[in-house]
């Protein structure tokens, strides 16, 4: 059970990593586009410098040869770079070659169904990313998709880890872990919400005011 931060914002990753509860990072092209301008390679270098664990970087090429070249480039940046390859029929060959021939770890991304995840693990992927929020948007049961994927891994004895992404609320994080995700990747915003509860705040305030009153009465020093 591990938490990754889903962000391409260096400051956000640094803040999350300092909490000690995050063991990896996932980026995607949309997150990279939303972060500050500048060299993407430098940004990934900064992210690697401020966190432990794997950092996923996604290929944008479409043909198998181009994907392989792009993946090799990202993997050359650091041994902790995991190459994110979007699921498609063509990308299965890429996943297989990267993992088995080039010893590059692959995170198969943008997956919405356990059928896709089954192919990803058979191709040799180290990580299978299921997009929980987007699955639910289509009216499907994301917990069932995660559960089926976990069952496939178990039955096939694959060395593949499920990353549940596309979190929309803290309940998604909780449910994804319970459904069988090995890793949940979340925004900093949701991570912060996990630590917060209004009743916790009320309780802390109640205890403090009892302490302050007792001191005012001279009963505590």
Closest CB to ligand E4P among residues 126, 129: 129
Closest CB to ligand E4P among residues 26, 153: 26
124: left (phi over 0), alpha (psi -120 to 50) or beta: left
Residues that bind ligand E4P (CB under 6 A): 6, 26, 28, 109, 129, 131, 133-134, 165-166, 185
Residue positions counted in the chain = 221
CB of 9 to ligand E4P, least distance (A): 13
Closest CB to ligand E4P among residues 64, 190: 190
Q: Which residue is nearest to ligand E4P (CB)?
A: 165
CB of 132 to ligand E4P, least distance (A): 8
CB of 141 to ligand E4P, least distance (A): 17
Alpha-carbon span 19 to 214, nearest angstrom: 34
Active site residues: 84
- Written as one string, the DSSP assignment of 151-194 is HHHHHHT---EEEEE---SHHHHHHHHHHT-SEEEE-HHHHHHH
Nearest Cα neighbor of 5 from 20, 22, 21, 18 is 22
């Amino acid at each position: 059970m591990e938490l990754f931060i889903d962000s391409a914002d260096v400051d956000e990753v640094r803040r999350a990593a300092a909490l000690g509860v995050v063991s990896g990072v996932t980026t995607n092209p949309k997150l990279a586009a939303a972060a500050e301008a500048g060299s993407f390679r430098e940004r990934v270098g900064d992210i690697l410098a401020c966190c432990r664990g794997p950092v996923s970087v996604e290929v944008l090429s479409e043909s198998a040869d181009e994907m392989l070249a792009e993946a090799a480039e990202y993997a050359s940046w650091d041994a902790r770079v995991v190459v994110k390859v979007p699921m498609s029929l063509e990308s299965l060959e890429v996943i297989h070659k990267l993992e088995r021939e080039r010893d590059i770890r692959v995170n198969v991304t943008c997956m919405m169904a356990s059928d896709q995840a089954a192919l990803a693990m058979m191709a040799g992927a180290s990580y299978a990313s299921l997009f929980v929020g987007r699955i639910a948007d289509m009216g499907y049961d994301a917990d069932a998709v995660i559960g089926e994927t976990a069952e496939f891994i178990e039955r096939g004895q694959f060395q593949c880890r499920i990353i549940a992404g596309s979190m929309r609320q803290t309940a998604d994080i909780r449910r994804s872990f319970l459904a069988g995700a090995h890793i949940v990747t979340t925004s900093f915003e949701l991570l912060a919400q996990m630590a917060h509860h209004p009743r916790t705040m009320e309780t802390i305030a109640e205890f403090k005011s009892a302490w302050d009153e007792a001191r005012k009465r001279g009963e505590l020093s």
